[in-house]
Amino acid sequence: MVYNYQTSGSGQLPMETVRTFFPETWIWQLTEVGDSGSAQVPVTVPDTITSWETEAFCLSSKGLGLAPPAQLTVFQPFFLELSLPYSIIRGEIFELKATVFNYLSKCIMVKVTPAPSLDYTLKASSDDQYSSCLCANGRKTFKWILTPSVLGLLNITVSAEAEASQTVCDNEIVSVPERGRIDTVTRSLLVQAEGTEKTETYSWLLCPKSDSLSEEVDLTLPKDVIEGSARSSVSVIGDILGRALRNLDGLLQMPYGCGEQNMAILSPNIYILQYLENTE
């Protein structure tokens, strides 16, 4: 998590937590433990408010070692959570939801503000209330109507701030936490083009006889192509089986059913093994 400090003539301004890193899985790495059998690995905890379960195993010339699972909880008493789908279609009506959680021991007055952007427009929802009392162990959801104006990946940023107020919430004056008063979350949303996707692939087997070799191709787009949706890519692989090797997980199969089915399904596994052995 990133903490920003700002100062002014009157002293220190509220500390802001900026959270942008939300992986589905975390820590995939190899570490040498040496003769001691242990090692320290410094890592940065992701910004997701959740519990992580870690597992580790060790390989050596004398055998295999397994470590018991351990849990690590990432938590802060006041935080914001955005509810986003993986992707939407351009032109769809999408309701952006931001939920604020208060695990502090006292009530707070929370204000939620989305950051302006040229990539999308936000329209206030029906309730149109973006400041609210939030007492201990409470949660509150705020909503907007989001309309994207571009295709591709766009970032959505929303901030929640615990404000100073004389408002009485649940028979008590709201408090302001000393640290972590502002929580800012940035999440990504993929905006896809409307219509039906169509892909055309061109392949060449090139055998250069000198240092350079060129190949030209004309890319003709359909007349009814949706504006802004066309894209192209080029990949060069120096191995006739290179493309297949980049997708081995799709070629390897698990056995099931009767013997005849297994013989047909498992034959690629044998070819893959022979190729890897011959090429080391």
Is the pLDDT score of 63 beyond 60? yes
Q: How confident is the model at residue 109 (pLDDT cuts 50, 70, 90)?
A: very high
Closest CA to 235 of 262, 202, 212: 202
Write b or e for each residue in 92-103: b if 16 or more Cβ atoms lie within 10 A of its Cβ, otherwise e.
eebebebbbbbe
Write the single-letter amino acid at 261: Q
Cα Rg of the chain, angstroms: 27
Question: 0.85 cut: is pTM over it?
Answer: no
User: Comparing 64-78, 155-169, 231-245, which segment has the lowest mean pLDDT?
Assistant: 231-245
pLDDT digits (tens, 9 = 90+) for 187-201: 999 999 988 888 888
pLDDT digits (tens, 9 = 90+) for 127-183: 667 889 999 999 999 999 999 988 999 999 999 999 888 888 888 888 888 777 899
Tokens found for residue 79: 């935080």
Is the pLDDT score of 13 beyond 70? no
Q: How confident is the model at residue 103 (pLDDT cuts 50, 70, 90)?
A: very high
Domains and CATH numbers, the chain: 2-73 (2.20.130.20), 78-192 (2.60.40.10), 242-279 (no CATH)
pLDDT of residue 213: 84
